[in-house]
Each structure stands twice: as C-alpha cells, then as structure tokens.
Amino acid sequence: MKSSVMATQGERWFSRVNALVLILVALLCLFPFYYVFIVSFASPAEVRQSVLLLFPKQWTADAYRYLFSTSAFPRATGVSLFLAIVGTACSLVITSMLSYGLSRKRLKGRRVLLLMILLTTLFNPGIIPGYLVVRDLGMINSVWSLIIPVLTSGWYVLLMKGFFDSIPAALEEAALIDGCNDFGVWYRIVLPLSLSSLAAFGLFYAVAYWNTFFTAVLYINEPEKWPLQILLQNMLIDSSTALGGVTDSALQDVPSQSKKMAAIIVSTVPILLVYPFLQKHFAKGAMVGSVKE
C-alpha cells in the first residue's frame, strides 16, 4: 500500500518535471524567432539602449518600410514568391504524371524505369557535372535554373508512386473501357482521389522553393535575379545593410540590427503561414522529410 502511494507521488513529480522541461525546450525553439520579431518592430532608441529587449514600449514598422522602399528587397521577395508558386506547380505536375505512369501495371518497362530512378538516389555525381549541364543548356542567370534542375527527385517519385500504387486499377478500368484515355483517367479519376497527398507534396515543394539558396549560389550571378535567401545572406555579411534606392530620410535612422531582423521575419512569415496546413500532413510529411531532404 505504502509503496503504491509513493509510486503515484513519484509519478506526479515525474510528470511535472517532464512537462516543465518540455515547455523549456519548446520556448528555446521559439525564443530566437520571438526575439528577432520584437527587435524588428522596436524603436531605434530601445534597440540601441536595452540589453535584453523582451517587449518594446514603442512599436514601429520603420524597418519594414525601409526594406520595401529599397529596390532590391521587393524584387528578391518577388523572385522567391515566383519560385514558390510556379516551381511548385511545375514540380507537382511532372512528379505526379511520372509517378502515376510508373505505378500502372499497363505501362511496359516500368521495372527498368523504376530501377533507373532508384539509382539516381544512390549516386550523386556532385556539384560540377550538374553545373556544366545547366551552363551548357544556357540557363545560368535565368530564374528557370532555380526550378528546372530541381523539378523532382527520385525520392519524391518513389514515394508518390507508392501512394498511387494504393489506388486500385479497378477504379480506372470502367473509364478506360468507355474510351477515356489514360490522361483523362489520371485527370478525372486519380487526381481527385489524391488531393490530400498532392497537398502534402505541394507544401513540401513550396517550402523548398521558398528556401531556395544553394542552386542560386551556383547558377545566379546577377544581383537583380537573387531570391530572398541570397539577399538575406548578403545583408547579414554586409554590416552596412544599405540596399540603396531609399529616398525617405526618416528611414535612414533605422538601426542595421532592426533591418536584418525585419528581413529575417519577412523570409520566415510565409512558412509560418503555411505551417498549419503542413502540419495536417505530417504523417506523410515525416515520410518524405525523414527519408531524404
């Protein structure tokens, strides 16, 4: 009797300490974002004076006004939005058509093709040969070099094919026999059944395109075509953070710290906005994400 009472007391303490540590971990995960957010909105005086600014007394959006009155920042944001929207659409169409084809038994040679795609996940020839292909296609400094070379991946094709495998062929037979062609079957029958899965893949593609950095380092040399992530990195390295083009003298006073933080927030917000939708698809997402980036 006594030992069970002690056990339950111990249990209670265990639960409390456990919960407390988890709350601390969650706060640690979020605090940097919160701090960046706060400083981006704090008045210059407060940014310069306080050591640990947890809540500004005076809020100002001057840092954001500064960023969007430059020419470079809105342009880079536009490039990243273009990538996230157009790139995701292209990737979904290409990936789902290929995966669908490969999942159908009526496609001859699918074994060989699947093996061929599996091989690409095993061996990566490296940066240089890929760069030479993109260069020889004349895509250097084209915004398409940030989309076409990363349109799809072996992992995504194999995962999506696995999903289409679970759609029984019987569903399509009737339509095929009624004279509907394969494209029509895919478009009218299979896609509507796969919307939630497509949404999951779409969100992961969108996040990847929005976060485009590496391909832009390789393929884009002209600052006018930089996506947001490259501009952000340059602002961080360059302590002056003067982007040029700002005429409003009231905005010259914005501390460079606040400009940097505001730029970080702008590049973070779209992801936080789609995050609740992403989260709905974590079961599939974990599969996609934990296997390979």
Partner 1 sequence: MNSANAQAKYPGRLSGQESLGKSIVKHGALYLMIVPGLLYFIIFKYLPMFGLVIAFEDYKPYKGIFGSEWVGFAHFERLFSEPMFLTILFNTLTLFFLNLIFCFPVPILLALMLNEVRQHRFKRVIQTLVYIPHFMSWVIIVSISFVLLSMDRGLINELLVAAGFDKVNFLMNPDWMRPTYILQIIWRESGWGTIIFLAAMASIDPEQYEAARLDGAGRFRQIWHITLPSIRSVIVVLLLLKIGDVLEVGFEHIFLLLNAMNREVGEVFDTYVYVAGLQQGQFSYSAAVGFFKSVVGLILVMAANWLSKKFGEEGIY
| SS3 assignment, position 80 | helix
Distance in angstroms (rounded) separating the CA atoms of residues 226 and 263: 14
For position 108 contacting partner 1 by CB under 8 A, the verdict is: yes
For position 241 contacting partner 1 by CB under 8 A, the verdict is: no
At its nearest, how many Å lie between partner 1 and the CB of residue 242? 15
Which CB, 194 or 257, lies closer to partner 1? Answer: 257
Chain positions 179 to 238 lying near partner 1, rule: CB under 8 A, are 181-184, 186, 207, 210-211, 213-214, 217-218, 229-230, 232-233, 236
Which CB, 112 or 247, lies closer to partner 1? Answer: 112
Q: How many Cβ atoms are within 10 Å of 292's Cβ, its own excluded?
A: 11
Distance in angstroms (rounded) separating the CA atoms of residues 100 and 78: 32
At its nearest, how many Å lie between partner 1 and the CB of residue 182? 4
Q: What is the DSSP string of 218-234?
A: HH---GGG--HHHHHHH
Burial readout 58-89 (b: 16 or more C-beta within 10 A, e: otherwise): eebebbbebbeebebbebbbebbeebbeebbe
Judge whether 46 and 58 are in contact, CB under 8 Å: yes
Select the residue interacting with partner 1 from 1, 52, 112, 273 (CB under 8 A).
52
For position 2 contacting partner 1 by CB under 8 A, the verdict is: no
Q: How many Cβ atoms are within 10 Å of 25's Cβ, its own excluded?
A: 10
SS3 content of the chain, % helix, strand, coil (to 5): 75, 0, 25
For position 3 contacting partner 1 by CB under 8 A, the verdict is: yes
Select the residue interacting with partner 1 from 147, 246, 267, 281 (CB under 8 A).
267
Which CB, 243 or 263, lies closer to partner 1? Answer: 263
Select the residue interacting with partner 1 from 45, 133, 193, 250 (CB under 8 A).
133
Interface region with partner 1, contact rule CB under 8 A, candidates 61-69, 70-78, 113-121, 240-248: 113-121
Distance in angstroms (rounded) separating the CA atoms of residues 66 and 246: 7
Which CB, 249 or 290, lies closer to partner 1? Answer: 290
| SS3 assignment, position 202 | helix
For position 152 contacting partner 1 by CB under 8 A, the verdict is: yes
Q: What are phi and psi of 186, to 5 degrees?
A: -60, -45
Select the residue interacting with partner 1 from 25, 85, 191, 193 (CB under 8 A).
25
Which CB, 59 or 214, lies closer to partner 1? Answer: 214
